[in-house]
Each structure stands twice: as structure tokens, then as C-alpha cells.
Amino acid sequence: MPRHIHLMTFVLLLCVGVAVGAPTEPAEPTALPKEDYYELYKILVDTMDQVERNYVKDVDRRELIEAAIEGVLGRLDPYSTYISPEEISLFRSTVDSEFGGIGIQISVDDGKLTVISPLVGTPAYRAGLIAGDRIVEIDGKGTDGISIDEAVRRLKGEVGTKVSLTVIHPATTEKVEVEIVRENIHVDTVLGDCRKDDDTWDFVLMPEEHIGYIRVIGFSRDTAGEIRKVLERLKKEDIRGLVLDLRFNPGGLLSSAIEVSDLFISQGRIVSTKGRNSPERSWDAQKEGTFEDFPIVVLVNRYSASASEIVSAALQDHKRAVVIGERTWGKGSVQNVIELEGGSSALKLTTAGYRRPNGKNIHRWPNAKDTDQWGVVPDEGFRIRLGDDEMLKLINDRRRRDIVRETHQETDELETASFVDRQLQKAIGCLTDELARAK
């Protein structure tokens, strides 16, 4: 059988694979006759065949197919992507916020692998790794010039397996050997304002005013449950107001955004979705388990996207919260993950768009203008845009608060530098004014 026939069969199977998980009655994409579709597919197959047989160098067939898939998705939108077999494991661990590892945040500074911070309670934390540690060897192999991706690959592994590290603590030159057993690492998506002496998060921003603070950095399967636990704790501390910080939050799971919104809204629409080939769906709040006896301020900025926009829009439309900060990113599309090759690869395909409770659009389409309807705009009088320099200071200040340090470590210039978070100050002022009016 000619090679191009084999390729044609493979391309047609790909098309069938794309339909997995789609509605049973797909809409006709265009009005082209079926024979024209065959001719179009044949162009693609013939092109691949010519490349395979005549290109100046050998080309891997799978690389060609994956490039073709990526080319198709690249013409759609930035959020429709192909997830290769090499990437599928990392993708799943990102969605679940769990993976097998030792529990550290790392960076590469001047070619040196450096610990930003251990995650509290993880094997790395218990082994005594601290911020600023240089990891010079992993399992006996040097790390000079290592990339972040390669470092992550070598540090991660099956739960229960061991990894040996050679580290140099800050302000010393002595190498220390550390053997750590990998565990299932859960990455917290719910953080506080700063750390207590025991390295756990402090979720009370102003004890005298009983104002709580919850920072959400992503929406995973466990985010709503984590927030509920914090709220139950704050409730016992007689919380009177809450700052929900969604700045720099890129989003996550739609289901998680709905669950988080439902924590604060007792009734009414949370979000609805509709696509060309998917039925309209909507989700409404449930009364049970709602926290509604205190005012809320939601902080957003231009990097708040997707699920964080669902939450901020829902709370704003139901007048459950005042939204403060900057206009959000404008990512109002829904991606379905469609498995290929029995789950060893996948498509992340945009299949629908979502609308906020008032029915307005959130997605910022290409060439959208500032005057168009997209994103979540802060409430009147509460729009505070930070300049690039001020934004960088905010990022550095928050990074400093995230780091787990030993008490004997010297404070650096970043830690002692004063920084005023204007957006957070406005949130505190808004809540204290609201609480004063309620007295």
C-alpha cells in the first residue's frame, strides 16, 4: 500500500479522535461538499508524503504529524493547544496541583540552581533546605548551567524513591549531602498575607479590625475546600471583613471557580457557557454552606484571568463584593481536554465562551477596544492601575512574603525595603468604611 494511503488513514483517525467527548450531533463546520473535504485532506497528506520522501534531511513522522496538529490549533486561538506525550504528565499534575517530588521552588541564577523556598511540611522542608541554598549536584551529577526544565525533571520522580542532593547553604562554602524521599506533593493555591513563626500562613490582615485576607494563586480541584477551611477558622476569630486577592491569578478549573463563587453567594446565577457545538449550560448558587455575614473586597489586576474573572464577576454582579484594582485580562473561553491515543496525549480545545451573571461578555477578542465589553472592570472609584515599576515592586514584595526562611538568615535589601501596596490599602479602607457604617 502506498505510504500516502497510510498517512491519509492516520489523518482521518485524528479527525475521529477530535470528536471524542463532543456532543452526539456535531454541527456541520461549513457547507463544503464531502468530496471537497477529501481533496483538502489529500493536500495535507501529499505534503507530508513529499516532505518524508524528498526533504534534504530525515524527518521523524511523528514530528510532522504533531507539527500539523499544532499548525491547525495555532490558527484558532492562544488557548487551543496540543499536549504531547512528553507534556501530558506535567499537564495533569498542574491541573491537580499534585506531583511526586521533594517540595521546593527553584530558579536558575547565573547558571546556578538555587532554592527560592521549600514548601511547608514537604520532604525538602523537613530535610532543612532553606531559601538561598545552592543545589550543586543531583544524584551525583553537577547542575552548573542546568535549565529549569531539566532540574524539575531530575527532582521529580515516583513517590517513595530517593534523590540525593549536594547543597551549599547561604553564606557558607561547605557542601552538605542530603538524601530525600519523594512524596506526593500538594501545591497550596490558597495563601495568606505573611507567615507566622511556625511558617504557616497568617490569614488575618488587621487583627484589631478583624479583617481577613485570602490570596488565591490558581483554581485547582482543592481550592474551594482550602478556602472553606480558612473561612471556618476566620469565623471562629470573629472575622468582620475579607480581602480576596485574585491578582496575578491566571485561572484554572471552571468547576473550581463555580465552587469558590458558591461559598459567598447564596442564590442566583454564577456563570453560563455556550458554544457553537455545545448546548448552553448555567450554574446557580446554593444557599447551604454560604459565608455571607461579612463584606468582601476582591482585588484584581491585568493578570487576573479566566476562573478568577468568573469569581470576581459573580461577586460583583450580585453586589456581594466591591472589586478593586485594574481591568482584568479578558479570558472568557472554555477549553475541553480531549484525550488522544488512549490518554497518552490530548487536545485542549476551545469549545465555548462563558458569560457573567448579568449576561455580559468577558472574553477579549482580537482587536478588541478599551471601549468594548470584556474583562471585569473595578467598581466606580476603585480602579487603581499600577505602573510597571510599581507592579515589579508588588511582585517582589509578595515573593518575599512567600519565602520560608530560617530565623538566623540575614534579611536582604528586598526584605527591608519599604513598599506601599496602594490597591491593598484601598481595599482595607473600603472595608473599614463599610464596617464603620454598619455600626
The reported pTM is 0.76
Kindly tell me if the per-residue pLDDT of 104 is higher than 90. no
The full set of domains in the chain, from first to last, is 3-75 (no CATH), 98-186 (2.30.42.10), 190-438 (3.90.226.10)
C-alpha 298/C-alpha 322 separation (Å) is 6
Torsion 98-99-102-108 (CA) sign: negative
Torsion 212-213-219-223 (CA) sign: negative
User: Which H or E element spans position 29?
Assistant: none
Per-residue model confidence (pLDDT) at position 263: 98
Tell me the catalytic residues: 306, 317, 331
pLDDT digits (tens, 9 = 90+) for 24-81: 333 444 556 666 888 888 898 899 889 989 999 998 989 889 998 999 998 888 888 8
**What is the amino acid identity at position 337?**
V
Kindly tell me if the per-residue pLDDT of 398 is higher than 70. yes
Nearest to 307 by CA among 242, 231, 218: 218
C-alpha 283/C-alpha 55 separation (Å) is 53
Strand boundaries in 217-325, DSSP class E: 241-245, 269-275, 278-284, 296-300, 321-325
C-alpha 258/C-alpha 252 separation (Å) is 11
**Which segment of 60-64, 89-93, 283-287 scores lowest on mean pLDDT?**
89-93
